Structure 1
Amino acid sequence: MDDAEVLALFDRRVRREARPDGPGCRIERVGGVVRQTGPAEAWNGVLWSGLTASSADRAIEEQVRHFTSLGREFEWKLYEHDEPGDLGDRLRAAGFAPGQREALMVAETARIAAVPAALPAGVDLVPVTDATGVDLLVDVHDRAFGTDGTRLRRRLLGQLAEQAGTVVAVVAVADGRPVSSARMETAPGTGFAGLWGGGTVPEWRGRGLYRALVAHRARIAADRGHPWLQVDASDDSRPVLARLGFTVLSTTTPYDYRPDATTG
């Protein structure tokens, strides 16, 4: 694949032409940015920006004003190829806190779907279709990442209730206990399927579960006609994904704005 062409396609279809990714969410194109605004449990933030050195600070101020007027924390999802080159510095100066930088990795779906990736003996994959399944997934998420999955639970329940055709979630179960989980989100017409939340509890790591869940979701994406897979990869998952055939196209860093943190 031509990396530059695929990155341009990703920027246009996934970011500039973004669709709402949850119930009650709306996409707005204002002031040189594309943003999503939704309920508190949804992802709120800036997906894309086309800014210059002369327009960036005003756009940042406008987004802060918009989201804080609604009482929302929000994220500015910054990619390393976004302009202007000092946008990250400008966001920090405006009170945003940068999170962990991740690699934007993309692969051809058919290639990953063909990867042999058997589950360990005694492990079954259970599709998440209801509240019981969501609870299993969130349990894995909390144990794997050490975070509170309350907002994830609310968001996923809403997606399954109102947008079931665009979200896939699965839990790997061993001896009746959830040990790994993952999600995939798709937007018709983009060509990209986003892989999210692949996590395994500590005692089950190193047994091929992450690889198996990537291949499982790739097969579903292939069946649904999505030619590309996209992952925001941590330093831990990046080597595994590279061995599977994913390519780094850019990096992305979440810049979070929390009104209480900036006002004291």
Structure 2
Amino acid sequence: MTQTPALRPDLSAVLAALNPQQREAVEHTDGPLLIFAGAGSGKTRVLTTRIAYLISQRKAWPERILAVTFTNKAAREMRERVGQLVGEDVAKDMWVGTFHHTCVRILRREAPRLGLERSFTIFDDDDTRASLRRVLDGLGLDQKRYPPSLIANAISNAKNELQGPEGIPNRNYFDEVVRRCYVEYEALLRRSGGLDFDDLILSVVKLLQEQEDARGYWQDRFRYVLVDEYQDTNRAQYVLVNLVAAEHRNLAVVGDDDQSIYGWRGADVRNILDFQKDYPD
């Protein structure tokens, strides 16, 4: 039987400095894990130490660990912290990034399954507004009355809820304008072979829901999935995380129900509050 390698001195010191609850979270290696704590409690340190522990104990190769954050800065810091504990050459093989960065990596590989070139264009917010100005002009609609930024926000909110144009509510004429613009905007994206930021997540969700072989590959690929600031996830991100983690069920989420800062992006704090219902095991 292969003997488990000794912990690096740096990691041993970090483990020794944790309180009993933190150490229990770090050493939990099988099944779902909710790290529910307030700001300043060291929850992010627990997350990075947990990743280092999983690697050092050979629970998973680094490339089979997916860690998702909300900012590039947080992703960079997470990779650096893990690198300090297990070595930079090891840490570089992990999948660490924002939701959008992670989805871009998946889509560059899987684009042909979705009818896209691997070199597909990513529309940023300015590109989206410019495209919607063209759409509004084409529909003969006044941009002062229907500002492209408002239309863009409405479409983004729908995509974050995994809703197509048909999912736009029918409360008033503005909703009808949004629906019409959404249809034309999607057609414009298809003609250009591009995706906007929200499509990056939406497209991976669609891929995993509809294509069994792709779903099987990515679910098997990521033995451990870790999500920082889980209280800030929206519907699309929530579905994505749970799809990816469905096979191994080694999903660890870190969050604070009093600290949701992405409400304007459709964040739903119920995602973290309901974690134990989603994962009773």
TM range (shorter): under 0.3
Radius of gyration: which is bigger? 2
The structure in which a higher percent of residues are strand is 1
Name the TM-score, length of structure 1 as normaliser.
0.28
The structure in which a higher percent of residues are helix is 2
